Amino acid sequence: MPQYTPPLRDMHFVLHEVLDVTAELKRCQRHAEVDADTINAVLEEGGKFAAEVLFPLNHSGDREGCVLDKGTHAVRTPAGFKEAYAKYVEGGWPALSVDAEFGGQGLPIVVNQCFYEMMNSANQAWTMYPGLSHGALECLHAHGTEEQQKTFLPKLTSGVWTGTMCLTEPHCGTDLGLLRTKAEPQPDGSYKITGEKIFISAGEHDMAENIVHLVLARLPDAPQGSKGISLFVVPKFKVNSDATLGERNAIFCTGLEHKMGIHGNATCQLTLEGASGTLVGEPNKGLPAMFVMMNAARLGVGNQSLGLTEVAYQNAAAYAKERLQMRALSGPKAKDKPADPIIVHPDVRKMLLTARAYAEGGRALAIYCALLIDQMLAADDEDERKEAAELTALLTPIVKAFLTDNGWIATSHCMQVYGGHGYIAATGAEQYVRDARINMIYEGTNTVQSLDLLGRKVLGDSGARLKKFGKLVQAFIEEEGTDEAMQEFVNPLADLGDKVTKLTTELAMKAMGNADEVGAAAVDYLRVAGHLVFAYFWARMAKVALARQDSGDPFYAAKLATARFYFAKLLPETAGLIRSARAGLAPLMAMDEAMF
């Protein structure tokens, strides 16, 4: 059976040795008193919750799945899920990074990020139940009325209620301009909402008292397309004026999706039959309001794949040390045994190191983005808040798409390490592959993220956001350029930075002639950009490891070895991607549609 050990040592390395988060947070008055000991203590307890409470439910929850009672529309989650959620609430974990104004603990987002990585490693399907509550809370915090905030935020903060977002309909996924759900105004200022939603994660369950649905719908006089969408808060149970639960609202689960993975999470078909809701934000401005939640979810999905990459790597590495198969090509290594452990074979090591490099690089990026969000929300200086917001916007599609692509690659490699034993359920390896696959699809497919990066975040502002990140890279290169020991990391980083600049300029020129050139190059471009970001963070981690390699701690030697592997074996992928991006639109459009 699989195992999981929270990667606290590596988290401490990134938090305190690479990013020095406590020093960064001192520029935010709200977090100025947060110290390393506090962060470490919280994460240690969070790791225990993930490993001891959630992880034992992962395999069984996958096998059992969720059950819908079609008569009552109630969903029963797998055995142990409800009890684990009660412990989660009792421990105060939902309130970890929520403002004290709403009953939260007020700790930085960066702490919550690390906690959620561990929960995703332990049990992604379970973690999705409370996961969207943070986005719902932030959306209502930003756009809700005072009454909505008073009604919903304390309950979402405590975890007594959970949240969802209801966007997708049977006929529309990414293209939300096609949605048909209707909202009819009522004399009391509320709305009656009617329609169907599908693919709603945690849309119905037995773990919380109430579920706060954020629903996109159209008003009767709404314009066509995405400019005619409004946002409504529609609770499962209506809420009385004294904050107690009232009658059941007319929003019901009418079906559960039978899925490839994340079986322990209820992915629901929801029917609204004149459900009562209230408007969030302005009429016909629902999509921008919902984007608060969607962007949080995109970062969260990247974190899901980061968690799966880590746990898949841990188990594959442990298996490779024990599994005996054949002899090393250079001669026996375990002479006292009938065969060598498979970890001696070069390609097994390549698969393991690929997963490790993607996990550790992804962790650095994810923690950095969480720190940016802390700065965006709480920095004392307005320019610093704006700078953090711009960088977060640039990096969000990379976190979502690059980390989930890497998670798919890594979990597949780790399953391969097991050979035939990886394909059967007992080892747990195949579940990580199945669970990882959805992360490339939902919250905007990775192609949509690529279009967002290249079309909106780079070309859309003439490269201004990209230049902001480029300045960070260039400053690091100039600072470390004279250090001979750093050349193996700095030189390829500088080279790729130059190539990204040239590729961006070339694609901008092509797009001026035909916008479809963006679509032809976007996926390749995002992956190149992802490697640029990873190369920057791997170079920063290598700098710290080099300075401490003689400390006697083997952690730093392992970090350096992984960094060298990344630059030697993974970063060169960018050469082929750049060539593919430059090949442009023509090879994709040459074949007539009828020939497909």
pLDDT in tens, 561-590: 999 999 999 999 999 999 999 999 999 999
Q: Per the structure block, which two tokens stand in for 171?
A: 């006929």
Task: Write down the pLDDT at residue 122.
Answer: 98
Residues 6+ apart with CB under 8 A from 265: 66, 124, 125, 126, 128, 129, 201, 202
pLDDT tens by residue, 354-368: 999 999 999 999 999
Strand pairing partners for 11? none
Q: What is the pLDDT of residue 294?
A: 79
pLDDT above 80: residue 127: yes
Give the mean model confidence (pLDDT) for residues 261-272.
Answer: 98
pLDDT given for residue 102 in this prediction: 87
Phi-psi region for residue 335, left (φ > 0), alpha (ψ -120 to 50) or beta? alpha
- Average pLDDT of span 122-130: 97
What pLDDT shows up at residue 177? 77
pLDDT of residue 41: 98
Whether 443 is catalytic is yes
Quote the pLDDT of residue 166. Answer: 94
Terminal-residue alpha carbon distance, the chain: 44
SS3 247: strand
Q: How confident is the model at residue 176 (pLDDT cuts 50, 70, 90)?
A: confident
In this structure, the dihedral spanned by the alpha carbons of residues 433, 438, 439 and 440, taken in order and rounded to 10 degrees, is 100
Q: Would you state the torsion angle of the CA atoms of residues 340, 343, 346, 347, taken in this order, to the nearest 10 degrees?
A: 120
In this prediction, residues 16-24 reach a mean pLDDT of 97
259: exposed, middle or buried (C-beta count within 10 Å: 0-12, 13-18, 19+)?
middle
Separation CA 27–CA 9 (nearest Å): 25
Using the predicted structure, report yes or no on whether residue 538 has a pLDDT greater than 80. yes
Would you give the distance in Å from CA 11 to the centre of its chain? 17
Residue 540 — pLDDT band, cuts 50, 70, 90? Answer: very high
Q: Which range, 161-175, 289-303, 487-501, has the best average confidence (pLDDT)? A: 487-501
Specify the pLDDT at position 171. Answer: 86
Q: What is the mean pLDDT of residues 373-378?
A: 94
CB 532 within 8 A of CB 320: no
pLDDT, mean over the chain = 96
Among candidates 375, 360, 349, 279, which has minimal Cα distance to 31? 375
| pLDDT (0 to 100) of residue 70 | 95
Task: Catalytic residue, from 443, 484, 506, 593: name it.
Answer: 443
DSSP 192: E
Q: What is the pTM of this model?
A: 0.97
What is the DSSP secondary-structure string of 274-322? EEEEEEESSTT-HHHHHHHHHHHHHHHHHHHHHHHHHHHHHHHHHHHHH
pLDDT at 293 over 90: no
Q: What is the pLDDT of residues 238-258, one digit of tens each?
A: 999 888 999 999 999 999 999
* 134-170 burial code (b ≥16 CB/10 A, e <16): bbbbbbbbebbeeebbebbbbbbbbbebbbbbbbbbe
Average pLDDT estimate for 358-382: 96
- What is the chain's alpha carbon radius of gyration, rounded to the nearest angstrom? 24
Do you know the residue count of the chain? 596
Q: Which pLDDT does position 101 carry in this prediction?
A: 86
**Rounded to an integer, what is the distance from CA 255 to the centroid of its chain?**
26
pLDDT digits (tens, 9 = 90+) for 470-517: 999 999 999 998 999 999 999 999 999 999 999 999 999 999 999 999
473 Cβ neighbours under 8 A, 6+ residues apart: 493, 497, 532, 536
**What does the pLDDT read at residue 291?**
79
Q: Which two tokens stand for residue 189?
A: 């200022």
- Output the CA angle 536-32-295, nearest 5 degrees: 50
Q: What is the pLDDT of residues 93-123, one digit of tens each?
A: 999 999 888 899 999 999 999 999 999 999 9
